Amino acid sequence: MKIFVVGSGKLANAILTSNLSIQSCEILKWESKYQILNDKSIIVHAGSGRQLKECFEFCTRTNSLFIELSTGLETEKMEPGFPLIICPNTSILLLKTLYILKANGRYFEKYTISITESHQSTKKTEPGTAFAFAKSLNFPLNKIVSIRDPDIQQNKIGIPKEYLDKHAYHKIVIKDENDEVTIETKVLGHNSYASGIQTIIEMVLKYRLENKKYTVLELIENNML
């Protein structure tokens, strides 16, 4: 089976250069010429959205599976005629932490909450994982603190210099007067994302997914990841 990676940014390139080895699969960079193919495939989208239309048409025609890694795109709202998985993050450890909060967020609604996130300064898209944390805790999205200053990232958060241009950091603080619980996540580099993509692809090859939209947290809830 062919696995097409869509996009030209750091995440897409990290997946393409990570030497993923998935049995009976060939990993290729998506090009428009592949639209004419008829074989069922897997599309991993890590792009800006410019190629979404042609990818949607390909998936609809071939009943191919679509994995969305980018955030803030129309895929999050559509009801597709093919299997679609929404992945705001592919670090499996982080996703399982997010699932725990999503399943139990109601227990923290009466407490004071703050959410801080940090990504590389070039990130222009919405912070999808931070939004997911916020929604799990019924926390206003506009109150999330976003940090893009490399000096703050290195000296106050503790992001090593070599990872300033490829990191994801989240800090959730839940307070009850003098009592405080802090949940802190730190993903450095793209190795865990590539490993997570391999895990997700191996899962979809194992299970038969329906022609509908899934979130990666649903897959965790159903013990598929």
Contact between residue 192 and residue 91 where contact means Cβ atoms under 8 Å apart: yes
Over the stretch 2-40, which tens digit does the pLDDT of each residue have? 999 999 888 888 889 887 888 889 999 999 999 999 999
**What would the two tokens of residue 50 be?**
């410019």
Domain spanning 2-86+192-221, CATH architecture: 3-Layer(aba) Sandwich (3.40)
DSSP 157-170: I---GGGTTSEEEE
C-alpha–C-alpha distance, residues 61 and 43, integer Å: 13
Q: What is the DSSP letter of 155?
A: I
Q: Average pLDDT, stretch 194-210?
A: 91
Angle formed by the axes of helices 92-104 and 191-206, to 10°?
A: 70
- pLDDT attached to residue 190: 79
Closest CA to 171 of 186, 156, 158: 186
Contact between residue 116 and residue 170 where contact means Cβ atoms under 8 Å apart: yes
Over the stretch 41-80, which tens digit does the pLDDT of each residue have? 999 999 989 999 999 999 999 999 999 998 888 898 889 9
Average pLDDT of the chain? 93
Asked if 2-86+192-221 and 92-189 have one fold, the answer is: no
DSSP 31-56: -GGGGG--S--EEEE-S-STTHHHHH
Over the stretch 209-220, which tens digit does the pLDDT of each residue have? 999 999 999 999
Residue 221: pLDDT over 90: yes
Strands (E), the chain: 2-6, 26-29, 42-45, 65-68, 84-86, 112-119, 145-147, 167-176, 179-188, 213-215
Domain residue ranges of the chain, discontinuous segments joined by +: 2-86+192-221, 92-189
C-alpha–C-alpha distance, residues 31 and 209, integer Å: 25
- pLDDT attached to residue 11: 83
Fold assignment, 92-189: Dihydrodipicolinate Reductase; domain 2 (3.30.360)
